[in-house]
Structure 1
Amino acid sequence: MSTDYQQARSALGSRLREMRTACPEGRLTGTQLAERLGWTQSKVSKLENGRQTATADDLRLWSVATGQPETYDELHARLRGFESHIRSWRRQLASGHQPVQDTWNELVAEASVIHEWEPTMVSGMLQTADYARHVFLRYSELQNSVRDTEAAVRSRLKRQEWLYRPGKRLRVLLWEAALRTLICPPSVLAAQLDRLAGLIGMDTVELGIVPLGAPVKVPPANGFFIFDDRLAITEDWHAELWLDDTYTISTYRRVWQALNESAVFGADAQRVLAEARRNLNIR
């Protein structure tokens, strides 16, 4: 967990403790507040000490129980402030994958230029329905989340309408490994590669492929998106990271540019795709 995130969570905990001790009707102990809320005393302690992330409902109940309901908006703003940077998959996927995809649709709709690096699988912006279906199924199994696969696929495909709007530009780099990873049956991957080949030359899409044998200036590590130089998003197994400070975004742009120098485009990219497809041994 990042230092900034933990500091923000601890600061929120200190504010909750302050509200408990400054209760208008008299100071409440942690035990008294827990009884009033119907919680365990340990939950109150963890929230106040920054060892547990409050939910919006937790904050609403806390503000009412301490006789200070007018503070809820402030508390909620604090929560949104630091949760916008680290978004755990456990929380995001509580209602399934579709709500996550809908949030991404809103982000993409606001963007004019998107830079993306994807080392492990085909970009969601370019996926076929069958390929996306297998991706969601794998993640549902991993995260033990709600299986709303078809709704998630529909939402992801709707996002791709952005590619056909004037003035939009997707600059995506794929590592060749992403073209060969069998997260789906070979026949599905073959169709996905055909889809990529058909996108080369599209005026709103710049597709570059970094061949496996290409020299690179930086390690081809985790994937990321950059939205108009205002927001970078990357992810790990536990969470999605939303990064909006200028220095961090510029770092991701430098990484993207370094990888872009190792990529091939146009006819050369077509050849890499064709070779990956031939290796599937599917007519």
Structure 2
Amino acid sequence: MPTSPLSSAQAARKAVATRLQGLMKDAGLSGHELAVRCGWHRAKSSRIARGITPPSDADIRAWCIACGAEDQAADIIAASRNAESMYVEWKQIHKDGMRRVHEKTVPLYQRTRSFRVYASNVVPGMLQTAGYATGLLGTITAFQGTPDDVADAVKARLDRSRVVREGDHRFALLLEETVLYYRVCDDEAMGEQLGHLLTIMKRPNVSLGIIPKRASRTVWPLEAFYAFDDQQVAVETLTAEINLTTPGEIRTYLRAFTELSQSAVRGEPARDLIREALTALG
């Protein structure tokens, strides 16, 4: 079953620190000596070597030069950037608001042919209506304390979601039944969202499964994740988005998706669950 995606990001950062430590040892330098050569306080070299402080590109170049291994700088910088891109805090992603991140991910959505999405908390973005997205993004903005560009972000999200209707894309989506009841928007918008799910299920390129609350299961509820073909899995936690590209980790999440799928209902039984949620709105 999936290990913590945060632990994967931490391991990637640790691998960079280990490589830098190795260069220092090969050069016969102590942490203090390396810091002197780089013009740093010695605590900085220690924190980088222990993986506490992520090194900047300039830090890595200076480290490699100090160790007489300048030819390795480019490779380590690439590994460090990959490690840092694995774990990015939402406050950093949304520092200028949410519109840009939606626009930035349009190429990823356009080139992906097979989407596999598991949602345990909210309706997946590509299925959201304007009202639902407005309520959700508004609460996220307020909670994170990031710039409020909700109206523009909603438009960008809906524009990005055109992949559901355009091009050669297939969507296999799993929702926990509880997602149908979480009120992230007002009742009117929630009703429109549930009605949209009933409509979108009719599309031949969309397979929507719902995992009933009482379903027998071999995989416990997980954090929401989005699999883009077999190339990348984005895992959403409260504080950050974690992007996994290691084949073994991707396979593990896809295996979890397969097992979760076995607990889901589709077709008319799924529609019945959506209609029950609609009725509960009153």
Give the structure-1-normalised TM-score: 0.81
**1:37 is matched with which residue?**
none
Farther-moved stretch of structure 1 (56-65 vs 174-183): 56-65
**What letter matches 1:243 in structure 2?**
L
Q: Which residue of 1 aligns with 2:145?
A: 144
Q: Percent identity?
A: 27
Q: Deviations over 1:90-113 (max 9, x none)?
A: 332222222322233221111101
- 8 Å CA contact retained: 2:226, 2:234: yes
Deviations 1:100-127 (A, max 9, x none): 2223322111110101110111110100
Residue 58 of structure 1, CA deviation: 6.5
Label 1:266 to 1:49 Cα distance change in 2 as closer, same or farther (>3 A): same
Q: How many residues align?
A: 272
| 8 A Cα contact 2:38 2:66, kept in partner | no
CA contact (8 A) 2:34 2:63 kept: no
Confirm or deny: 8 A CA contact 1:31 1:41 kept in the other structure.
no
CA distance in 1, matches of 2:19, 2:97: 28
Q: Give the distance between the partners of 1:5 and 1:265, measured in 2 at CA.
A: 38
SS of corresponding position for 1:94: coil
What residue number does 1:5 align with?
12
208-217 or 95-104, larger mean C-alpha shift: 95-104
> 1:1-283 maps to which residues of 2 (within 5 A)?
1-2=6-7, 3-11=10-18, 14=21, 29-30=35-36, 33-34=39-40, 46-55=47-56, 73-74=74-75, 76-281=77-282
Cα gap change, 1:173 to 1:81, in 2 (>3 Å)? same
CA distance in 2, matches of 1:91, 1:69: 31
Task: Answer whether contact 1:16 1:48 (CA < 8 A) is retained.
Answer: no
Pair 1:60–1:130, CA change in 2 (3 A): farther
Q: Which residue of 1 aligns with 2:3?
A: none
2: CA distance between counterparts of 1:56 and 1:157? 36
Mark the runs of 5 or more structure 2 residues left unpaired by the alignment.
1-5
Contact 2:225/2:233 (8 A) holds in 1: yes
Aligned residue identity for 1:171: A
Give the CA deviation at 1:267: 1.7
In the alignment, the residues of structure 2 paired with residue 42 and residue 147 of structure 1 have an alpha-carbon distance, to the nearest angstrom, of 39
**Residue pair 1:13, 1:50 contacting (<8 A) in 2 also:** no
- CA–CA separation in structure 1 for the residues paired with 2:48 and 2:233: 29
Unmatched segments (≥5 aa) in structure 1: 35-39
* Higher alpha-carbon deviation: 260-269 or 113-122: 260-269
Q: Greater RCO between the two (CA within 8 Å, min separation 6)?
A: 2
Alpha-carbon distance change, 252 to 145 in structure 1, aligned in 2, over 3 angstroms: same
Distance 2:158 2:58 in 1: 33
Say if 1:42 and 1:145 are closer, same or farther in 2 by CA, change over 3 A: farther
User: For structure 1, which segment, 205-214 or 70-79, has the greater mean C-alpha deviation from structure 2 after superposition?
Assistant: 70-79
